[in-house]
Copies of this chain bind each other. A is one copy, B any other.
Amino acid sequence: MSRETRTTPSIRSAKKARAAFRAGDTSPTAGRAEGFTQANLISVPADWAYEMLLFCQRNPKPCPVLDVTDAGSWGTPLAPGADLRTDLPLYRVWEHGELTAEPTDVVDHWRDDLVTFLIGCSFTFEWALADAGVPLRHIEQGRNVPMYVTDRPCRPAGRLHGPMVVSMRPVPPGRLADAIRESSLMPAVHGSPVHCGDPGGLGIEHLGRPDFGDAVALEPDDIPVFWACGVTPQAAVMASRPPFAITHAPGRMFVTDARDEQYRVV
């Protein structure tokens, strides 16, 4: 995964991944179409779209917006030709904050008033961490990154409120500066960490019991480093209970045609 060995990714790999998911593949998207940006998806009725967009603007670290569709549209310039209703591996349908279905497409759940938000994902900066020599423990251990609901409330927007969710990566002390610098250079995909060290500072009691994803073992001396996480809008849906919403299922993101490097400021 170093700069020397990584080949230039072909856009065909992104299109191929979406085609597989459209055809019924429900596997997680981590490692698929490497080099292409994956995004969190959340669709809400137009009546809630302003509050969702304002919530994202007011909480840009957990909710960096990569694109917003026009109401009813299932297309995005981030992946021309893709269908947001079918091209993710797995979706979640929410009614009044309760999970009511987990289908492989949402054609039958679609509504003409749905506005879809594509939110940046920390997968996007992992290649930059790896290139800078930061080990990615969850990948080494074959696990999904662990995510935690914190005790930090997001700044609310109208009816939308909820806690900030974070992802955690263990970082050796000698690599902390690299991890901070590299992620800082990608503010559109969560940017710099929100917290390093004591999980209690975020109200997290047990690192071994994440709220989403898998527990990951720390090596001796590793510092737990916490980045704001794109699951935050889903937590807001659960807390704020809009009448209807669709999201991607955890770990089953939308694979775009955008390249990870595009989101790096220099």
Nearest CB in chain B: distance from A69 CB, A: 10
| Contact residues on A (Cβ < 8 Å of other chain), bracket | 10 to 19
Is A191 interfacial (CB 8 A cutoff)?
A: yes
B65 touches A57 (CB 8 A): yes
Chain B residues lying within 8 Å of A65, measured Cβ to Cβ, are 57
A265 touches B185 (CB 8 A): yes
> Which residue in B50, B187, B191 is a CB contact (below 8 Å) of A50?
B50
Nearest CB in chain B: distance from A183 CB, A: 10
Nearest CB in chain B: distance from A150 CB, A: 20
Chain B residues lying within 8 Å of A54, measured Cβ to Cβ, are 53, 68
Chain B residues lying within 8 Å of A188, measured Cβ to Cβ, are 187
Q: For window 174-208 of chain A, which residues contact chain B by CB distance below 8 Å?
A: 181, 184-185, 187-188, 191-192
- The chain A residues found within 8 Å of chain B, CB to CB, are 49-50, 53-54, 57-58, 65, 68, 70, 158, 181, 184-185, 187-188, 191-192, 265-266
Provide a sorted-by-A list of 23 A–B residue pairs whose CB atoms are within 8 angstroms. A49-B50, A50-B50, A50-B53, A53-B53, A53-B54, A53-B57, A54-B68, A57-B57, A57-B65, A57-B68, A58-B68, A70-B158, A181-B266, A184-B265, A184-B266, A185-B265, A185-B266, A187-B187, A187-B188, A187-B265, A191-B265, A192-B265, A265-B265
